[in-house]
Chain A
Amino acid sequence: MMTSQHLILRVVSKILIPLILLFALYVQFHGESGPGGGFQAGVIFAAAFILYALVFGPENTRRVAPEWALSTLMATGILLYLGTGAASFLFGANFLEYGVLGADFVAGQLLGIFLVELGVGITVAAVMITIYLAFAERQG
């Protein structure tokens, strides 16, 4: 679509996109000890895709983010969250009581929060990309 023009935009966004993705992962994995977390990371991660779609068009974006992959990721993220919560059932604890998941209480809480936030991040990223593409691909 726009690939023949907007040289500066194309080059700058190609430089920026990997950095945005990396920053999203940083926000994801340092969420419990710094600002951020799964939701913010998911939005930043999706921002990279949206920037790509803005510059290179939704058709190209669909090649890396097809509908089936996005809907699968959306559902998987929630399942990861719920599954982490339900995993504590196996240890005879209440839902989301992930203190029991690790060797000790703190390790279990860390693991639980990590998995839950990962689930949030995956779902939020997939949903943001889906919402953007749903509008961008609308005909007329």
Chain B
Amino acid sequence: MISAQLPALQVILPMFAAPIAILLRRGKLAWMLALVVTWIAFAISLVLLFQVLDDGPIQYFFGGWAPPWGIEYRIDALNAFVLVIIGAIGAAVLLFAGPSVEKEIREGHQHLFYALVMLLLAGLFGIAITGDAFNVFVFLEIASLASYALIAMGKDRRALTAAFQYLILGTVGATFFLIGVGLLYAMTGTLNMADMAERIHEIHDSRAVLTAFAFLTVGIALKAAVFPMHYWLPGAYAYAPSVVSALLAGTATKVAVYLLLRFIMIFGADFAYVALPLGATLAVLAAIGILVASSSAILQNDAKRLLAFSSVAHLGYIVLGVGLGNDAGVTGGILHMFNHALAKGAVFLAMGAVMLQIGATHINKLKGLGAVMPWTMAGFTVAGLSLIGVPLTAGFVSKWYIVTAAIDRGWWPLAVVMVVSSILAVFYIWRIIDAVYFSPPGANTENVKEAPVIMLAPLWALAGASVYFGIDSSFPASVAGKAAAIVLAQMP
């Protein structure tokens, strides 16, 4: 009986935890509740993934109302994989959160912080799991509002402007999305995605459908921080509390890319890639974005800001994979969502540990940390190698897919962009490594101790997973391949 309710519990459990965290009024208790709930949610996402792989798509009817009238949760290989990404990053980050939040968030706000984190997770799970286009918008707003507030809780005063910037652009994105959904509803008379996908084929050449597609793509691209709409991201990730940076970097933009894939599927890959030049547009924007963001990352002086620019570049890889529109490209893009979430989650957690011990992430302040925080920095280095895309790390596998896809399509310049940006990544990761291992320690790193085990464990779990899935990528790659097949089902 309980197994039939898992799709609902995936979203409801974190949603329940949010008001309970407020009632608990103690940061520590709220943390424990959030931790337990997130781990259960992670377990649920894994069970759902295996159910989907064994028995095919799962449907869940809310309130017992059958679609297309009621709201339906519909899980296939594509969103089951996204659910696991959210669950895994959430589980790692919340284990890490205890000491970090205690230091960075003031006592009276800690339980509210965890309530917001739970709402954020509920929203992200909801976006991924639902089969109803308007329901997506509702969850998008839940997740976005929670993340605006979470970013604004950063200690740095610039967190407020960063959150405000994100608020404005995020709202524009959400509004565009809603306009797109509204137009689709007007044209098809349904909000259920599967139903919509069936009806939309007959009216492909209608101007309203084209407009809807444009609004949806731009709105989602804003949320996904696709170049040139990435402007909100570096500030938001750099000044947010460490825990929030790690959580958002691993999940939020990935979920937006998932939405892009889902709507490509609804409109039909033939419509998006063949009738319209979506693929080429995305690929060109992504390529420029990769180069610009990687170069900007090298110029940053704050390690978190540097990593945030690197996130924009990596989103570029994912979007590039999607834009290529062939099997290997979309598989690589989806796989890179997973691999990048692991690696970027790990490096942001390492920065969180640094923030806890020395209270800053400016590169000059990191000098000599390799000697006093060996485990944190070794974890950072391993994950950093995956960000660069060194062979035997997960980052290499997905980049390889995308490069081969680019060559398959004959888009050689894009393969060159991938290689050049990997070299740029060596430079920006090296800037941190150089400060940490090869610079004489500064005055601020004396008497600094290693981070507590509870923070090192999730950091190493993510970094270790980056290496594990680099050596044996068969499982995530096969799931990503199935997901890509769903997206490209209508491809001629």
> Which B residues are CB-close (under 8 A) to A98?
63
> Which A residues are CB-close (under 8 A) to B63?
94-98
Closest residue of B by beta carbon distance from A92: B1
A60 within 8 A of B: no
Determine if A94 and B16 form an interchain contact, defined as CB atoms under 8 angstroms apart.
Answer: no
A52 within 8 A of B: no
B23 within 8 A of A: yes
B22 within 8 A of A: yes
B5 within 8 A of A: yes
Determine if B20 and A75 form an interchain contact, defined as CB atoms under 8 angstroms apart.
Answer: yes
A37 within 8 A of B: no
A89 within 8 A of B: yes
Q: State the Cβ distance, B121 to closest chain A Cβ, in Å.
A: 15
B62 within 8 A of A: yes
Closest residue of B by beta carbon distance from A97: B64
> B48-73 toward A: CB 8 Å interface, digit per residue (1/0)?
00000000000011111000000000
> B20-38 toward A: CB 8 Å interface, digit per residue (1/0)?
1011000000000000000
Determine which of A79, A89, A95 lies in contact with B19 in the assembled complex, contact meaning CB atoms within 8 Å.
A79
Determine if B64 and A93 form an interchain contact, defined as CB atoms under 8 angstroms apart.
Answer: yes
Determine if B19 and A94 form an interchain contact, defined as CB atoms under 8 angstroms apart.
Answer: no
B266 within 8 A of A: no
A79 to B61, CA, bound (A): 21
> Which B residues are CB-close (under 8 A) to A89?
5
A75 to B5, CA, bound (A): 24
User: From residue 62 to 104 of chain A, which have CB atoms closer than 8 A to chain B?
Assistant: 71-72, 74-76, 78-79, 82, 85-86, 89, 92-99
Closest residue of B by beta carbon distance from A77: B19
> Which A residues are CB-close (under 8 A) to B1?
92
A71 to B61, CA, bound (A): 32
> Which B residues are CB-close (under 8 A) to A85?
12
Determine if A94 and B8 form an interchain contact, defined as CB atoms under 8 angstroms apart.
Answer: yes
> Which B residues are CB-close (under 8 A) to A93?
64
> Which A residues are CB-close (under 8 A) to B23?
72, 75-76, 79
A68 to B2, CA, bound (A): 35
- Are A94 and B5 also in contact (CB < 8 A) when A82-B15, A85-B12, A86-B12 are? yes
B18 within 8 A of A: yes
Most buried by A among B12, B18, B19, B61: B19
Closest residue of B by beta carbon distance from A86: B12
- Are A95 and B16 also in contact (CB < 8 A) when A72-B23, A75-B23 are? no
A89 to B22, CA, bound (A): 24
> Which A residues are CB-close (under 8 A) to B5?
89, 94-95
Determine if A95 and B22 form an interchain contact, defined as CB atoms under 8 angstroms apart.
Answer: no
Determine if B18 and A78 form an interchain contact, defined as CB atoms under 8 angstroms apart.
Answer: yes
User: From residue 24 to 59 of chain A, which have CB atoms closer than 8 A to chain B?
Assistant: none
Determine if A76 and B19 form an interchain contact, defined as CB atoms under 8 angstroms apart.
Answer: yes
> Which B residues are CB-close (under 8 A) to A82?
12, 15-16, 19
Determine if B19 and A74 form an interchain contact, defined as CB atoms under 8 angstroms apart.
Answer: yes
Determine which of A75, A97, A99 lies in contact with B22 in the assembled complex, contact meaning CB atoms within 8 Å.
A75
Determine if B22 and A94 form an interchain contact, defined as CB atoms under 8 angstroms apart.
Answer: no
Most buried by B among A75, A95, A98, A99: A95
Q: State the Cβ distance, A87 to closest chain B Cβ, in Å.
A: 12
A140 to B64, CA, bound (A): 53
Closest residue of A by beta carbon distance from B15: A82
A126 to B206, CA, bound (A): 46
Determine if A95 and B12 form an interchain contact, defined as CB atoms under 8 angstroms apart.
Answer: yes
Interface residues in chain B, defined as those with a beta carbon under 8 Å from any beta carbon in chain A: 1, 5, 8, 12, 15-16, 18-20, 22-23, 60-64
Q: Which 10 A-B residue pairings sit nearest by Cβ, starting from the closest?
A: A75-B19, A97-B64, A96-B63, A95-B8, A75-B22, A78-B19, A75-B23, A97-B63, A79-B19, A94-B64
21 example contacts (A-B, Cβ-Cβ < 8 A) are as follows A72-B23, A74-B19, A75-B20, A76-B19, A78-B18, A78-B19, A79-B20, A82-B15, A85-B12, A86-B12, A93-B64, A94-B60, A94-B61, A94-B62, A94-B63, A95-B62, A95-B63, A96-B63, A97-B62, A97-B64, A98-B63
